[in-house]
Amino acid sequence: MLENNIRLAGQLPQTMGNMTNLKSVSLILNGPYFGGELPSSLFQLKNLTTIHIEGNLGKEWSLPANAQVGDDTQLERLVLKDSFVGTIPSWIVQLKHLQTLDLTMSKFQGAIPEAIGDLSSIKYLNMMGNNLTETIPSSLGKLSSIEVLILGNNALQGELPASIGNLRTLQLLDVRSNEMTSIIPSSFANLESLSKYLH
């Protein structure tokens, strides 16, 4: 059987924003000459529900510093693993329908955006294994639907914010291998759904 192997190179074009019926983008195990900045136009597509980029060896990826998110954007899953660099941009919180945000084992650096608490639909938030610093923002306490929160293996500092106690639906909390203090806020007792805590 004759197999055709397509080796993608360069980066995704801004003209992807013209693909109005696009529902899913999945780029897994590509490289070594494929990467770059994701086109901001992707985040204006009203039918796109999933972006999954993982295991691309070679050229690094990044999120655009600025993106105009469409009012009718329906993105539910944003999975960017292994090969992303830069900071987590604040515009990401405009993705109002986002249920899964997975940034595992990349090279994101800097602070977790304070506005992260505006992701009101988020259920699964995983930022494990990056270079995130500063303190965990108290706005995380506004994530009323969250079930899994993983922030382990970073360089986060300070204490767990007391607002963590507002997360009544939280089942898994992982903050291990950071530079945080070991003080657990008294509000922790309010986590009635919590079944696993890793620190």
Given a contact cutoff of 8 angstroms between Cβ atoms, the answer to whether 188 and 165 are in contact is yes
Q: Which residues in the chain come in under a pLDDT of 70?
A: 1-6
Mapped onto helix, strand or coil, the DSSP state of residue 189 is: helix
Q: At a CB cut-off of 8 Å and minimum separation 6, what does 2 contact?
A: none
pTM for this predicted structure: 0.94
Q: For residue 3, what pLDDT is reported?
A: 47
Q: Domain 111-199 has what CATH class?
A: alpha beta
CA quadruple 113, 66, 48, 83: dihedral sign: negative
pLDDT digits (tens, 9 = 90+) for 151-191: 999 999 999 999 999 999 999 999 999 999 878 899 999 99
Burial class of 17 by CB neighbour count within 10 A (0 to 12, 13 to 18, 19+): middle
- For residue 29, the model assigns a pLDDT of 86
Question: How many CB atoms sit inside 10 A of residue 192's CB?
Answer: 9
Q: Which residues contact 151 (CB under 8 A, 6 or more apart)?
A: 112, 127, 128, 132, 136, 174, 175, 178
Domains of the chain, residue spans:
17-104, 111-199
- The pLDDT of residue 6 is 66
Residue 85 phi/psi, 5-degree rounding, is -130, 170
